[in-house]
Amino acid sequence: MSAFHSCLCFLHRLQKNWPFFYPLIYHNISVEIPSESQTVVLNLYRLWLLLVLTLIFNMIGCIFLLISGQPDGAKDLGAGIMYLPVITVTSFLLWYRPIYNAFMKEHALFYYLFFVFGGFHIAFSIYMLIGIPSTGSAGLINTIHAFATGSILTGVFGILATVGWGLGSLGLLYEYRLIWAHKNVKGHTFEQAQNEVATRGIKAYMTRGSQV
């Protein structure tokens, strides 16, 4: 039965299914992730989707910052537009996909990649939540200023972006703690991660399946 399941998983991996509108990779939590870890990975995927939605709200908020005549509106809009594709792609590649592979393959390197880049992302989310003018964030400071100057629509999208940054950072921090505990239980160490790079090389981490 296990051999059949392994064969089935291999056949599934040959099929690119994500993203649905232009499949580039195979992504299936219920097939590739062990059942005891599926909830954690699913929550991380939902946090990544929340991030994309937050970036959209943030960009729209920055559009209204410019329209409402905010002094740094042009700078906010330029940065807000840039954040949407750049942060969407880099967050997927640098912290979501590594932790997906970590639970699938149980390799130390993937856990440490997540801890580094996931930590950076938590800090970035808090920075965006603050909403400093001219930084591309429609967060708290810009939101308060929008309401103070009567720009209600700007303020509404600012609230949506601020709440999104807050929920995203808190959610990722909570999962970060769970994953750190899981890593310790599994006995993964930084030295082990270094050995994996030395013995397998980076190319090995681009392959699919738990055998590499």
For 30-62, the pLDDT digits (tens) are 999 999 999 999 999 999 999 999 999 999 999
DSSP 10-61: HHHHTS--BSTTS--B---HHHHS-GGGHHHHHHHHHHHHHHHHHHHHHHHH
Specify the pLDDT at position 11. 52
pLDDT of residue 77: 96
Could you state, in order of their start, the residue ranges of all structural domains in the chain?
37-206
**pLDDT at res. 212:** 45
Intervals of the chain under pLDDT 50: 1, 210-212
Predicted pLDDT at 15: 85
Determine the pLDDT at residue 58: 98
What does the pLDDT read at residue 1? 44
Report DSSP state, residue 187. T
**How far apart (Å, rounded) are the C-alpha atoms in residues 59 and 81?**
6
pLDDT of residue 211: 45
Mean per-residue pLDDT over the chain, rounded: 91
pLDDT at 117: 97
Query: Which tokens belong to 102?
Result: 């970590």
pLDDT of 206: 52
Q: Is 34 helix (H, G, I), strand (E, B) or coil?
A: coil
State pTM to two decimals.
0.89
pLDDT of residue 71: 87
Is the bond preceding 34 in cis, omega lying within 30 degrees of 0?
no
**pLDDT, position 204:** 57
